[in-house]
Chains A and B, each alone.
Chain A
C-alpha cells in the first residue's frame, strides 16, 4: 500500500508557482521522499528526492517539514507542459528493499 496521501487534483495558472502537497505521517527514519510525474501516455519521469533537507534541481524544489511528516513539491513557473499526474512516494534508499510503490497521485492541470 502507498504510504502517502495527495489531493487527487489541482489547478495552477501558467507562469505561477505550483505547490503540490504530500502527507507521509508514517515515514520511517531511513525512508526518502521521491517525486515522479507522468505526462499522458508516457512513462513516469523522475523529478527529485530528499531525506530531510530541502532540495532543488533544474526541475523543481522539494520542501520537507522538520518532522518529515509532509512535503511540498514546488514547480516555480508552471507551463502547460507541466500538466501531468504527480506522484509522491516514500521508500528506502538502495538495497534490496528499494522499490517504489506508486499511489494515485495528484493530477496537476496548468491553465493558460
Chain B
C-alpha cells in the first residue's frame, strides 16, 4: 500500500483481556518498529524488526508484551492480560534498510477499562 496501515484504529478492552494490534508496513520496507505514546507523553520505543535478523526487543516493558513479524511483512503486537497503564496510542513505522526516514502509521488507540 501507499502508507503504513494499522488496525484497529481504536480498541477498548477490559482489564485482563488479551489484545492484538496489527501493522502493515510499506511494501519493500525491511525495517519495522513499534512505539507507544501515552497521553501527553513522548514516544517510547518498544521493538524493532530488521529483515531476517533477531528483533531488538529491548524496549518491551514486560513479558506481557510480544510481537511477531511474519514473512518479513505484517507485524502483530500482542499484549496479554492488559492493565490500565497499557492504555496508549501504539504506533508502527517502517523504513528501507539503511536508515532512511521512517514512515509512521496513524496508530491504534488502546483503552483498557
Is B26 at the interface (CB under 8 A from chain A)? no
Task: Give the total of A residues in contact with B, Cβ under 8 Å.
Answer: 25
Q: Are B99 and A93 in contact (CB under 8 A)?
A: yes
Contact residues of B: prevailing secondary structure: strand
Is B53 at the interface (CB under 8 A from chain A)? yes
Contact residues of A: prevailing secondary structure: loop
Task: Give the total of B residues in contact with A, Cβ under 8 Å.
Answer: 25
- Interface contact tally, CB-CB below 8 A: 59
- Tell me which of A34, A44, A45, A93 has the highest count of chain B C-beta atoms within 10 A of its own C-beta: A44
**Residue-wise interface mask of B (6-45) relative to A, using a CB-CB cutoff of 8 A (1 in contact, 0 not):** 0000000000000000000000000101010000001111
Is A25 at the interface (CB under 8 A from chain B)? no
Is B65 at the interface (CB under 8 A from chain A)? no
Chain A neighbourhood of B33, CB < 8 A: 99-100
Chain B neighbourhood of A43, CB < 8 A: 4, 91, 93, 104-107
Determine which of B50, B99, B104 lies in contact with A91 in the assembled complex, contact meaning CB atoms within 8 Å. Answer: B99
Residues of B within 8 A of A (CB): 4, 31, 33, 35, 42-45, 48, 50, 53, 56, 91, 93, 95, 97-99, 101-107
